[in-house]
Amino acid sequence: MMLVLDDVTKVYKVGAFGGKTMTAVGGVSFDVRPGEVVSLIGESGSGKSTIGRMILGLTPVTSGTISFDGTPVKPGKDYYRHVQGVFQDPFSSYNPVFKADRVFGMIKEQYHPADKAWDQRVEEALTSVRLNPGQVLNKYPHQLSGGQLQRLLIARALLLDLKLLVADEITSMLDASTRIDVLNLLADLKTRGLGVLYITHDLSLGNYLAERTVVLRRGAIVETGLTGKVFGDPLHPYTRQLLSAVPRLHASWEDAAAVDTCLYHASGATGALHEAEEGHLVACARLPSCPAA
């Protein structure tokens, strides 16, 4: 296992004086292995970005542990050499006053100060993400397209010794053809052994890259397993709702969840997630108020 989340909870203090709390993520456990894409899917507000930010060390966990290669995450130079994030809005990841070449120069200073072949390595990284070095290096972020910036970020990640990429809604602001390009690029990286956590709010193309899928609702996992099983035979009403191709304009989540019997607790299952079949876990659709639980 490369990345392991074990019973991770994040509670935010909210309200004018921080007197109230809000559990954004509650008791989440999953892992990402090298060369594997895991897709984290859930509607807006379900806690996906909070999980991404905790993995990247941008916000602390309230309880539980996140470990990388066997040790608890400690944000810092050594960690970011291996773990990087690419976000929805690539413009926010750049300092707008730096040209692209300066971004690469900073990596050199921090991680490879004595590398004589640095310029060549930058060129190789850019070419591998299908960017033309001559066209992008002398530009400011606002002179590049969203797709070019995301690829530039991935190239930047390649110059580090990257093992895990947290990709948060990366394709949502791209047009269809650029989206396919970025996804193909992720598929390439995956064959090189890179693990990817692919965060998305919808059933987007990226899900098909993923070996495994984690479905998040209100900060908790409702279903998880091999992507083919979760998408091919969704068991939880929420997953079915996310996957339903027909927009349900008048149906709310509550309607979709209105099931009479709990198959799992009735059969003696305990705990939040029940193994419905090998490699396919699902939560009781009536939690937290299942009378059989």
CB of 21 to ligand ATP, least distance (A): 9
How many CA atoms does the CB half-sphere of 42 hold within 13 Å? 23
Closer residue to ligand ATP (CB): 48 or 163: 48
Closer residue to ligand ATP (CB): 42 or 133: 42
CB of 170 to ligand ATP, least distance (A): 13
* Sites for ligand ATP among residues 132-171 (CB under 6 A): none
Contact status: 14 vs ligand ATP (CB under 6 A): yes
**Backbone phi, psi, residue 63, to 5°:** -150, 165
CB of 169 to ligand ATP, least distance (A): 7
Q: What track of x and - describes contact with ligand ATP for positions 29 through 58 (by CB under 6 A)?
A: -------------x-xxxxxxx--------
Closer residue to ligand ATP (CB): 23 or 178: 23
Contact status: 204 vs ligand ATP (CB under 6 A): no
Contact status: 266 vs ligand ATP (CB under 6 A): no
CB of 42 to ligand ATP, least distance (A): 5
Which residue pairs from 202-207 have beta carbons closer than 8 angstroms and sit at least 24 positions apart in sequence? 202/41, 202/242, 203/41, 203/231, 203/242, 203/243, 204/171, 204/172, 205/171, 205/179, 205/180, 206/37, 206/39, 206/167, 206/170, 206/171, 207/39, 207/41, 207/231
What angle do helix axes 146-159 and 118-128 make, rounded to 10 degrees? Answer: 130
Closer residue to ligand ATP (CB): 103 or 168: 168
CB of 141 to ligand ATP, least distance (A): 22
Provide the 10 A C-beta neighbour count for residue 199: 26
Provide the 10 A C-beta neighbour count for residue 160: 18
User: Cis peptide leading into 96, omega within 30 of 0?
Assistant: no
Residue numbers at the binding site for ligand ATP (CB under 6 A): 12, 14, 22, 24, 42, 44-50, 201
